Amino acid sequence: MEQRMTALTWGLLALLGLIWGGSFFFARIAVIEVPPLTLVFLRLSIAALALHIYIAGRFGIYPLLRSRWREFLVLGILNNALPHALIFFGQTRIGAGLASILNATTPIWTVLIANYLTSDEKLSSAKIIGCLTGLLGTAVLIGPSVAARGDLPVWALLLPVIAAISYGFAATYGKRFRGIAPPVIAAGQMTASSLVALPLSLVMDHPWTLAIPSGNAIATILAIALLSTALGYILYFRIMAVAGATNTSLVTLLVPPSAILPGFLFLGERLETTEIAGMALIGLGLIILDGRIYSRSRALA
């Protein structure tokens, strides 16, 4: 049975969009002083610690972590360690707004992945049209941007898209955690992914050789960890429990405006016409994926 969005779920989704939109802005500031892999570790480990303090042993968290640690490890890699690292590396060369728009292709990949890996989120005509529209928007966004800005490497544009694909697999994989309290799922994946990120940070970044970050960088790291990650993923898994993987991934439609506004106000970033057109097409694709307008038009026909 296909899952639908209620008014409450849309409200939670909008709140999550604001929170995750802010993470692109915070990351753009922090990554100037902290290397991407170390930033990933700090984000995940601080969030994990905060969630463990919040849970305080409730919800049977520790027996669940012991019995399902392999599943939490897979989820942590797909939903945290890998995509966060890819986005942070990309943001060393591209702005918060552009990174968030590229990452907004997540629902497209989620729809395609869920069609093959689940029985309750199959492709429909609306989803196919939405996917094609969103993919066209991605092509419009990336192609002209590369041609017009010779200083933007292709790899920096592709990394947020690859991260979006990873999020698509994570959203589908996360369905197996239904019935577990959202804070426990969030804490489990954060704990596992921080353990993955630690050795990578030590080997690649040698964090003991880095200068102490400025007060602004420390503040943005705490904001990413506590607000965008710890609180964000509690909301994420609560929405997924009632709305499904595809509907939850629609949050990325709301992320770009939330990321672009502070980037425009505080970082002096701006979007080219082609980037705005690409975002519009992606947004149209996601609206079609929601299915409501399409269903109403068919009912009126």
Q: For residue 147, what pLDDT band results from cuts at 50, 70 and 90?
A: low
- The proportion of the chain whose per-residue pLDDT surpasses 90, expressed as a percent, equals 16
What's the confidence (pLDDT) of residue 1? 44
pLDDT in tens, 50-98: 999 999 888 888 999 899 999 999 999 998 888 888 888 887 777 766 7
| Between residues 182 and 7, the one the model is more confident about | 182
Rounded CA-CA distance 134/141 in Å is 10
Q: State the average pLDDT for the chain.
A: 80
Are the C-beta atoms of 37 and 205 separated by less than 8 Å? yes
- Asked if pLDDT for residue 26 goes beyond 50, the answer is yes
| Structure tokens, 160 | 């947020």
pLDDT at 194: 93
For the segment 289-301, the average pLDDT, to the nearest whole number, is 55
253: Cα separation from own chain's centroid:
11
Model pLDDT for residues 31-44, shown as the tens digit of each residue: 888 888 898 899 89
pLDDT for residue 130: 75
Its pTM stands at: 0.75
Q: What is the reported pLDDT for 298?
A: 54
pLDDT of residue 150 exceeding 80, the answer is no
Q: What is the pLDDT of residue 25?
A: 77
Q: How far apart are CA 62 and CA 69, in angstroms?
A: 10
**Model pLDDT, residue 218:** 92
pLDDT by residue (tens digit) across 202-258?
988 888 888 888 888 899 999 999 988 889 888 888 888 777 776 777 777 677 666
What is the mean pLDDT of the segment spanning 169-181? 84
The pLDDT value given to residue 70: 92
pLDDT at residue 74 in the model: 94
In sequence order, the 6+-apart residues with CB closer than 8 A to the CB of 219 are: none
Per-residue pLDDT, 52: 93
